[in-house]
Structure 1
Amino acid sequence: MTIRVVVVDGHTLCRLGLAHVVRAHPDIELAGEADSLAEGRLWLESGDPTVVVIARRLPDGDGLTLASALRTVRPDVGIVVMAPRDGDDALFRAMDLRASAFVDEAAPVAELLAAIRHAAVAPLSFTASDLVGALRRRRGGDLLSAREREVLALLTNGLSIAEIARTMHLSHSTAKTYTARLYEKLGATNRAQALMAALRQGLIRPEEMHATDHPKAAMTAR
């Protein structure tokens, strides 16, 4: 699948730089550019992007306004918000508006490309660098409870919800609730996304991931 990307950024050099980055990768196609909220709205009304990369600061307003409007009418489109990372407020605003990803303006190119590809395949699943740390700071404590950490370990080992319930001596519905809470905290909608998010945030180690090669790891949580 070719990812059609629209870039909305008021800074010409930044917009051209993003356009150059996008053109350098065969799986990503630059579908359009806009330099303001107004131009972004006009382009999006007539275009059919897979992912929209929106700068938070635009000449005629806040890019999050465009992100919010787009998400309301196009739940299938990925939205990547770019903004300075001066605290966690912008990240949480992007997450609350159901953006797909938040990227610091100073982040490496590889991080932006990863965010675009994530947004293309999981537009309603949020990701950001240090998301777990930001959530921990918001809650003032550990992100995962002891039970949720146990569920994560069992998911990493490829167990199904029914097997997790038996292993932890829980009812099926309680095990499913713990799993759903874990997914929510990691910004995931399924097992694969949860494990990748946990890996990125250091909640599990790469050497533990070998267990997910087991056929059970491919089972959908029930």
Structure 2
Amino acid sequence: MGKPITVVVIDGHTLTRYGLIRLVSADSEISIVGECGLAAEAPAQIAAALPDVVILDVVLPDADGLRLARELRDRHPALGIVVLTSHDEDDVLFRALETGVSAFVGKTAPNAEVLGAIRHAAVAAASFTATGLASALARRGQVAPRPVTTLALSPREQEVLSLLASGHSVPAIAASMFVSLSTAKTYVSRLYDKLGATNRANAIMAGLRLGLIKSELSATA
């Protein structure tokens, strides 16, 4: 066996936090290295433990969990971030997508889904996964099953759109395409202009609506 995945749990609900710790600790491939109930305590916990993954609640007693997630992503680009939520609204899911977290999981999800999200976050911190993402995008964009489009993307633009759809951040897109960060930002900006999008979610919805994305989201549906 290799090195266990190290995890810090941040949740203001004591019973939920300890339940997560018990669930994760039962898996021999995952190890809890820290836990706390407040966003204010999180930076010190993470700096001390240097975990592979942090699990945090969308709603914390002293802060917005997604705002904390954004701060953690900026400070620790390689950190896997799993967000747990008891709110299954599409808007919350899209906020998580834009924030740069690795996985978005409902608190009522099966244990296997939670553990799967941790494993995903450990190996693909820059890639987003969420059960029901494709359905949420379809509701938001009113996607037609077999749309017809005359919009043509260049091979580079199609590659960027596919990477965005699979949840890659701009730095991850740059690494995947073997280009500089500034070049990747230019590609993304041009794609947004062509699709009439202002952010990742808009671009993905436009891609689905126009038939430019077919199976990229099937793993998260």
Same-fold call, TM > 0.5?
yes
Alignment of 1:179 onto 2:162? no
- Judging changes above 3 Å, is the alpha-carbon distance between structure 1 residues 31 and 91 closer, same or farther for their aligned structure 2 residues? same
- Judging changes above 3 Å, is the alpha-carbon distance between structure 1 residues 46 and 195 closer, same or farther for their aligned structure 2 residues? farther
- Judging changes above 3 Å, is the alpha-carbon distance between structure 1 residues 143 and 31 closer, same or farther for their aligned structure 2 residues? farther
Between the aligned partners of 2:63 and 2:137, the Cα distance in structure 1 is: 27
- Please give the root-mean-square deviation of Cα atoms over the aligned residues, in Å: 2.5
Please point out which of 84, 87, 102 is paired with 1:85: 87
Matches within 5 A, 1:67-216: 67-142=69-144, 174-188=154-168, 197-201=217-221
- Judging changes above 3 Å, is the alpha-carbon distance between structure 1 residues 47 and 178 closer, same or farther for their aligned structure 2 residues? same
Q: Which amino acid aligns with 2:159?
A: T
Query: How far apart are 1:133 and its partner, in Å?
Result: 1.1
Query: How far apart are 1:83 and its partner, in Å?
Result: 1.0
Q: Which has the larger radius of gyration?
A: 1
State the match for 2:60 in structure 1: 58
Q: 8 Å contact 2:8–2:51 — kept in the other structure? A: yes
What is the number of equivalent residue pairs in this alignment? 174
Between the aligned partners of 2:62 and 2:145, the Cα distance in structure 1 is: 37
State the match for 1:21 in structure 2: 23
Query: How far apart are 1:101 and its partner, in Å?
Result: 0.7
Which of structures 1 and 2 has the larger relative contact order (alpha carbons within 8 angstroms, sep 6+)?
2
Between the aligned partners of 1:66 and 1:143, the Cα distance in structure 2 is: 37
Q: 8 Å contact 1:85–1:104 — kept in the other structure? A: yes
Aligned-pair identity in percent equals 41
State the match for 1:157 in structure 2: none
Between the aligned partners of 2:164 and 2:93, the Cα distance in structure 1 is: 16
Q: 8 Å contact 1:4–1:49 — kept in the other structure? A: yes
- Judging changes above 3 Å, is the alpha-carbon distance between structure 1 residues 142 and 45 closer, same or farther for their aligned structure 2 residues? farther
Aligned to 1:29, what secondary structure does the other structure show?
Answer: strand
Q: 8 Å contact 1:8–1:35 — kept in the other structure? A: yes
State the match for 1:213 in structure 2: none
Q: 8 Å contact 2:134–2:220 — kept in the other structure? A: no
Q: Deviations over 1:32-55 (max 9, x none)?
A: 111111122221232201000001
Between the aligned partners of 1:199 and 1:64, the Cα distance in structure 2 is: 23
5+ residue gaps in structure 2? 177-213
Between the aligned partners of 2:30 and 2:101, the Cα distance in structure 1 is: 19
5+ residue gaps in structure 1? 148-169, 202-222
Q: Deviations over 1:62-97 (max 9, x none)?
A: 111221111011000000111123311111111111
Aligned to 2:31, what secondary structure does the other structure show?
Answer: strand
Aligned to 1:42, what secondary structure does the other structure show?
Answer: helix
Between the aligned partners of 1:199 and 1:91, the Cα distance in structure 2 is: 16
State the match for 1:10 in structure 2: 12
State the match for 1:42 in structure 2: 44
Q: Which amino acid aligns with 2:218?
A: A
- Judging changes above 3 Å, is the alpha-carbon distance between structure 1 residues 34 and 145 closer, same or farther for their aligned structure 2 residues? farther
Q: Which amino acid aligns with 2:161?
A: R
Q: Which amino acid aligns with 1:29?
A: S
